[in-house]
Amino acid sequence: MTFRRADELWMVNSDGMGERELLGIEDLEALESDGFEVRLNRFEWVPGTHTVAFNTRRRLEAGDVLADDLRLVEADTADAEHPLEQTMLLPPGEGGEFTYSPDGSQIAVVTAGDISLLDADGANRRDSVLTYAPVAMYGEDDYYVKPVWAADGSALMVAVPPPDPDARPLQHTTIWRIPTDGSSAELVMTINALPVEDGVSFSPLLSYVAYGEVLQLGETPDAVQVQLKVVRLGNGDWQAY
């Protein structure tokens, strides 16, 4: 398993033994670009491998921003005599937030208004399989949507919030299906979802979507009425709780 210690990336065997550093402060300092300090952002194992994928943030005067990169480190090579093998799969500006297909053969790369697909080795890039209007965050980090893979890697589902979550009346969130065979993304449905982080959840088989449906907005939290709604994708059958 991997874990963060301060701003470093570490790993440990499943039995609790073999703890070792994968990415230290010196490694991050070596990644500095354009004179900006680099910090670890997010990391995950590449399915079926001993490789950890990660991206970074640049520390600017106004605050940290995503570097939109994608890097790899081979956990198997970490010992006293052999340095870790690191690979920059996508340089700053060409990556973003990322999620691997279940078999590890494909990557979905997300920016603040775009989703692209590529093979795990960085080849066969399919730019802009879905574009969307950037979501206004009013001084916070840019919003990156979170696509979810089908178990067989044939498609992804993603919920895209409205461009202005604070607009009144409330704007719709759109649900999209993105095939990986090169065909165009499909608008599945629009929903009246509460525009909050992780406010929409897909079932593991991507057959259902659950979200907080807004029934009434108000000036105070007590005046807002929301119900949990579960919708079957495809025929629109639903249940509210």
**Residue-wise pLDDT tens digits, 87-117:** 999 999 999 999 999 999 999 999 999 999 9
Residue 158 lies in a domain: no
Residue 33 within a domain:
yes
Total domains in the chain come to: 1
| Distance linking the first and last C-alpha atoms of the chain | 37
pLDDT of residue 82: 52
Residue 78 has pLDDT above 70, yes or no: no
d(CA 105, CA 48) in angstroms, rounded, equals: 10
Give every strand in the sheet of 106-111, ordered side by side: 97-100, 106-111, 114-119, 126-131
219: pLDDT strictly greater than 80? no
In a domain, 185, yes or no: no
Query: Does residue 121 lie in a domain region?
Result: no
Q: What is the share, in percent, of the chain residues with pLDDT greater than 90?
A: 65
Cα gap 208→230, rounded to integer Å: 7
Residue range of the domain that includes 69: 1-95
Asked whether residue 65 is assigned to any structural domain, the reply reads: yes
Total-model pTM: 0.90
pLDDT band at 140 (very low <50, low <70, confident <90, very high): low
Coil, helix or strand for 235? coil
102 located within any domain: no
- Which of 58-62, 79-83, 88-92, 185-189 comes out lowest in average pLDDT? 79-83
Indicate whether 138 belongs to any domain: no
Q: Is residue 19 part of a domain?
A: yes
